[in-house]
Amino acid sequence: VVISDEVGYRKPHPEIFEEIINIMAITDKRDVVYIGDNPNEDKLGAEKLGIQTLIIGQDLLSIEDLLQFLWVFLLDLRIGKSY
């Protein structure tokens, strides 16, 4: 869990998303999908770092949409395809 007060930045500042990537030891941002519910806070900061972002209620309209996306994303990672 990353708490904005501990990082010193709030969304949409890219630094909080960088901290998440560092904590999870992710080396390739193309392997990350950030799922949020606020286009202004979640999408702007993550996309500044080149992180694919999906917004609930905008890009994902149902749990089925989310599951379908995750299925394809995970299969693509398995065969080595990056976004």
Chain-centroid distance of CA 40 in Å reads 14
pLDDT digits (tens, 9 = 90+) for 2-19: 777 787 888 888 888 898
- The answer, yes or no, to whether the previous bond of 39 is cis (omega within 30 of 0) is no
Q: What pLDDT is stored for residue 25 in this prediction? A: 92
Q: Whole-angstrom Cα distance, residue 21 to residue 61?
A: 26
Q: What pLDDT is stored for residue 83 in this prediction? A: 53
Give me 15's structure tokens.
């630094």
Using DSSP's 3-state secondary structure scheme, residue 36 falls into strand
Burial zone of 54 (CB within 10 Å; 0-12 exposed, 13-18 middle, 19+ buried): buried
